[in-house]
Amino acid sequence: MEITQARCWFCFMHTPLRWLGIPLCPICRDQLYDFFWVSIVQTIVWLLGGIDGLFFVIDEILLFLVLVVVKHRLPTPWEQGR
Determine the 3-state secondary structure of 19 from DSSP: strand
Taking only the tens place, the pLDDT of each residue in 5-48 is 888 877 777 888 777 788 888 888 888 888 888 888 888 888 88
What is the number of helices (H) and of strands (E) in the chain? 2, 4
Mean of pLDDT over the chain: 78
| Dihedral sign computed on CA atoms, order 11, 14, 16, 22 | positive
Domain locations in the chain? 6-72
Which residues, 6+ apart, have CB-to-CB distance to 52 below 8 Å? 46
Flag whether the pTM goes above 0.75: no
Distance of CA 9 to the CA centre of its chain: 11
